[in-house]
Chain A
Amino acid sequence: MQVSNKLTPFFENLNFERDDNTMVINFGPQHPSAHGQLRLVLELDGEQVVKAYPDIGYLHRGIEKMAENMTYNEFLPTTDRLDYIASTSNNYAYALAVEKLLDIEAPRRAQAIRTMLLELNRIISHLFFVATHALDVGAMSVFLYAFREREFAMDLMEDYCGARLTHSAVRIGGVPLDLPEGWLENLAAFCDKLDHEVEHTYGALLNENRIWKMRLEDVGVISAEDALSWGCSGVMLRGSGVKWDIRKEEPYELYPELDFDIPTSDRCDSYGRFRLYMEEMNQSTRILRQLIPLYKDTKPQLMAHAPKYISATKEDIMTQNYALMQHFVLVAQGMRPPRGEVYIPTESPKGELGFYIKSEGEPYAYRLKCRAPSFFHTGLLQNLLVGTYLADVVTIIGTTNIVFGEVDR
């Protein structure tokens, strides 16, 4: 019997053997396949999960609180820390929400660059998913191959914005930089390489792999009704046969002009979702290839022209007095958006990432709520894990593709 005292207090009240022969175990928060800081309290009857209780909050940094104390432009780099696997999607979702609040639109070249970055981030995130999911289930080599290609994608991000993980590659009103020389050629080469690898490496290693299928098929089955009710989005929803992709249904940026498919699966299980992730990488490369000529047709303007909210270009600031004054005001005081509220959903690699912003016309948001897909997918675990076996718990956590930066915020 453990005794708690002031120096060794009980943070986890564990009792293993209980009267009804069930056992309570802690999964995490430091479990390697807990995808960050998930503590899962599982009540087991033998090896079967009777009750699951996801305990979150170990990575809570109060990002929504910080948003109320930062100007709109100051907050943008903080959004990197939400879903840190695909930072640009967070930057973009936030920038888009603020742009809708301000009623401005990014110029076409910025839209082309943003769409490219979003799809590149989707690939980075999906590669990470395939790698870690395979590693969790026990396929070590896929992890190494997938991280090799992810490295190339991250090199592309680095060439564009200088950062590999926390990109901050999008600004409110556009993008800060144009693409560097030779970037599009590298991108095209990367697309070819990725298509080849998805089919001949990860696909060949996993798609028809007997062990992989045994571990994934009929594991983590969610009906379409449950998926909707529990707030699932993205692949979790499409894996249950609901054809819902915000890029198609409520399009933004250049997505209406692009030709791509929304893969869905009626299998409702982990294997179906895994195949969707693989197929989505193919769709992303398809989008990226179409974007290259679209980018070349655009004019070089990168930031929207809205002097009330957005600073002028560097050249204007350095040569024109009024642009300099306005820039000084915008940096020192922050922009003052209209009074009102917006909720703008975007399709991040994990699902529906939306920002609700309530503005009172001040330079600081009155309230900012980040609708993170992983938060609801974590909530789903308490339903999904019941009745499964302990060995499948890791598979199910992996298949939800949760990232704790955005669960805890």
Chain B
Amino acid sequence: MRKYIPKDNVQKKAYYTDRYHVVPTVPQSKVDEGSYFAGVLNALGNTVTESSVQLGQLVIHIAPEDNFKVMKTLKETCGYTQCSEQSAVDYLAKDNEFELFWQLLNVGVAKRVRVHCRLANGAAIESIEPLFKSANFAEREMFDMFGIKVNNHPFLKRILMPDDWEGHPLLKTYPLHGDEFASWYEVDKIFGKEYRDIIGPENRDPAKIDIEDTKRFSRVGYEVPFGAEYNAEEETDIEYSETALVNYNKKTSKQLDERR
């Protein structure tokens, strides 16, 4: 029987897991009363559903519809003037949700806050671009990689992948070596879909060189007019200098042989 591979997460998995292996967790501590982060939490009020301190950074969880409000408070009241990173984690297979995170930095007091929210599949998130301009590129990347729509973004467009790409590469359902669309991308674009059968999967390399195609390739030493019939016999007398790797010029090699 063929091994069952779950379709909702095609990333590489451990082939063996000790069944007595207990996975520890990264240490988390409660926010101490009177500490600096307690002040931040007070300013945010009841928008925060969960909070902890991990490795000296405050980690808070919020509802996705509160994100703009929370970021505005963090920026204007608490002095978090830089959004250094934002992206998402794909939990579609487990919960049909994305986990979004924003990493904020307060330069004045050298403190960092990470804001998390869970966003349902297909839902859109409000852009924080009016507050932090760095979100312009970061949200575009998030859209490109996960397909998460961002409301009120000034220019929500693919950023790393081509505009006409299908699929979102960082989803767990997207295979590492690309899907069918990815493997035929150049062929579809240059020749059209009907050429898939003619070219065949073994020849879909877009850099393939066809020696008999005189429309797109010329052959040194055997030049023929554009589109003429390929003929391996007729040698032309065009001489080219020899390179370190390829000896185009047969005459030179003959001379070399004679010298030897």
Q: Total number of A-B contacts with CB less than 8 angstroms?
A: 138
Answer whether residue B60 sits at the interface, using C-beta atoms and an 8 A cutoff.
no
Q: Are B132 and A340 in contact (CB under 8 A)?
A: no
Which of A6, A358, A364 is within 8 Å of B11, CB to CB? A364
In the complex, residue of chain B having the shortest beta-carbon distance to the beta carbon of A54: B137
Would A339 and B192 count as touching, CB distance under 8 A? no
- 0/1 string, A143-177, CB within 8 A of B gives 1: 00000000000000000000000000000000000
Where chain B touches its partner, the secondary structure class is loop
Q: A6-B190, A68-B11 are contacts. A338–B24 as well, Cβ < 8 Å?
A: yes
Q: Is B133 touching A339 in the complex (CB atoms < 8 A)?
A: no
Contact A9 B189 (CB under 8 A): yes
B84 at the interface (CB under 8 A from A): yes
Q: Out of B54, B85, B176, which one reaches A354, CB within 8 Å?
A: B85
User: Which of B12-20, B33-41, B233-241, B246-254 touches A?
Assistant: B12-20
Determine the chain B residues whose CB is within 8 A of the CB of A341 once the complex forms: 26, 54
Contacts of A9 in B (CB 8 A): 189-190
Across-interface contacts of A366 in B (CB, < 8 A):
89
Query: Are the CB atoms of B159 and A383 closer together than 8 Å?
Result: no
Contact A6–B191 (Cβ < 8 Å) = yes
Is residue B90 within 8 Å, beta carbon to beta carbon, of the partner chain? yes
User: Which residue of A is nearest B107, CB measured?
Assistant: A244
Task: Select which of B13, B25, B133 is within 8 A of A340 by beta carbon.
Answer: B25
Contact, CB under 8 Å: A100 / B23: no
- A362 in contact (CB, < 8 A): yes
In whole angstroms, what is the CA distance A308 to B146 when docked? 34
Tell whether B214 is near chain A: CB-to-CB under 8 Å.
no
A371 in contact with B103 (CB, 8 Å): yes
Contact B26 A101 (CB under 8 A): yes
A367 at the interface (CB under 8 A from B): yes
Complex Cα–Cα for A164 and B13 (A): 34
- Asked if B55 is an interface residue, CB under 8 A from chain A, the answer is yes
Closest to B27 in A: A103
Minimum CB–CB distance for A180 against chain B, Å: 33
How far apart are B163's CB and chain A's nearest CB, in angstroms?
Answer: 10
With A101-B26, A231-B83, A362-B13 as given contacts, are A367 and B160 in contact (CB-CB < 8 Å)? Answer: no
Interface contact B137-A340, CB-CB below 8 Å:
no
The residue that B12 contacts in the complex, of A6, A68, A339, A369, with Cβ under 8 A, is A68
Q: Which residues of A contact B158 (CB under 8 A)?
A: 57
Contacts of A228 in B (CB 8 A): 81-82, 107
Interface residue? B161 (CB, 8 A): yes
Q: Is A193 an interface residue (CB 8 A)?
A: no
A255 at the interface (CB under 8 A from B): no
Q: Most chain-A CB neighbours within 10 Å: which of B15, B55, B190, B216?
A: B55
- Whether B107 and A229, one on each chain, are in contact in the complex, defined by CB atoms closer than 8 angstroms, is no
- Would you call B82 and A343 a contact (CB within 8 A)? no
A-side binding surface: helix, strand, loop or mixed? Answer: mixed
Q: Is A196 at the interface (CB under 8 A from chain B)?
A: no
Tell me the minimal C-beta distance from B240 to chain A in angstroms: 25
State whether A362 and B190 are in contact (beta carbons under 8 Å apart), knowing that A356-B85, A367-B89, A378-B137 are contacts in the complex.
Answer: no
A379 to B27, CA, bound (A): 35
Known: A339-B23, A341-B54. A229 touches B12 (CB 8 A): no
Contact B23 A231 (CB under 8 A): no
The residue of chain B having its C-beta at the shortest distance from the C-beta of A361 within the complex is: B23
Partner among B12, B84, B191 whose Cβ is within 8 Å of the Cβ of A233: B84
CA distance A356 to B89 in the complex (A): 11
- Chain A positions within 8 Å of B134 at CB level: 229-231, 376, 379
Q: Scoring B residues 32 to 66 as 1 if CB is less than 8 Å from chain A, else 0, what string do you get?
A: 00000000000000000000001111000000000
26 CB < 8 A contacts A-B: A56-B159, A57-B160, A60-B160, A68-B12, A101-B26, A231-B132, A231-B138, A233-B84, A249-B110, A250-B110, A339-B25, A339-B26, A340-B28, A341-B54, A356-B101, A360-B23, A361-B24, A362-B14, A364-B11, A364-B13, A366-B89, A367-B90, A369-B85, A371-B103, A379-B136, A382-B136
B residues contacting A by CB (< 8 A) are: 11-16, 21, 23-28, 54-57, 81-85, 87, 89-90, 101, 103, 107, 110, 112, 114, 131-134, 136-138, 141, 145, 158-162, 169-170, 174, 176, 189-192, 216
**Beyond A65-B169, A69-B12, A376-B134, 4 additional pairs, beta carbon < 8 A:** A7-B216, A62-B176, A361-B23, A367-B89
8 nearest CB pairs, A to B: A340-B26, A231-B134, A361-B23, A379-B137, A57-B160, A249-B110, A338-B24, A69-B12
